[in-house]
Amino acid sequence: MSFLFWRNVGQQLQLNICIIFVFCSCCQRVVAEDIDLYQRGSDWLGTVELSQINVSSKIADINAAVVFRSSVMHGDEDAQHVTIDVRDAMRLWLFTGDAGDGIGADHSVWGDARIKTVDGEWIYLDSLKPILSKVGYGQLKTEPVEIGGRGFEHGLSAHAKSCLGYVLDGGYTEFEGWVGLNETAEKRGSVTFVCSTYPENPDYRYVVDSVWEKLKED
């Protein structure tokens, strides 16, 4: 077969692998996980196909766990209310993205974000320590915030791109909060918000990288 054919096969696999980066580009690995998406076939093309199936399956699993995804929000907009069912969920991941135009003035915040226990008690996330906390600028702050002129006493200031992770271990039934850009953005900035209940850290970049390196070695 021609060199062009093989190059196109490799480029297609690399493109599918890169899809996963969109979802988790703000995360970092917490612990190493025993996951290998690379699978050897009868020949190189078979290996590419099997590995691509594994990667696509992992992407589908991650996307299926997204329980909320906002449209692009701007600094002059009112807060958007978020409420999701987290019964039986083991983890809660809160993401913010830069809407593709850089992180300037992307002062993304979660207002009065809280989770309800199975006993009906509400617990604000600003009282909990996240298992993962990464922000695009500065550091995570727990402080009062204001979105569109509305104040929230329990705020999580997580400048985009950000990723916050919390342990639920099946002990909670509901998450709710308000999302938007803090008044400090001065009506500038553009941000997207995503909530996920994926049971593991949804950052598989290190695994995907290893798949691509193995394919190149073959």
Least confident of 22-36, 75-89, 144-158: 22-36
Q: DSSP assignment, residue 78?
A: P
How many other CB atoms are there within 10 angstroms of residue 137's CB atom?
13
User: pLDDT tens digits, residue range 95-105?
Assistant: 999 999 999 99
How far from chain centre, in Å, is Cα 156? 16
User: pLDDT tens digits, residue range 139-188?
Assistant: 999 999 999 999 999 999 999 999 999 999 999 999 999 999 999 999 99
Q: What is the mean pLDDT of residues 74-91?
A: 97
Rounded Cα distance, 110 and 119, in Å: 24
Q: Which of 197, 191, 200, 203 is nearest to 96 (CA)?
A: 191
Q: Right CATH number for 67-196 from 1.10.3470, 2.60.120, 2.60.40, 3.40.720? A: 2.60.120
Sign of CA dihedral 24, 29, 33, 38: positive
pTM exceeds 0.95? no
What are the domain boundaries of the chain? 3-65+203-217, 67-196
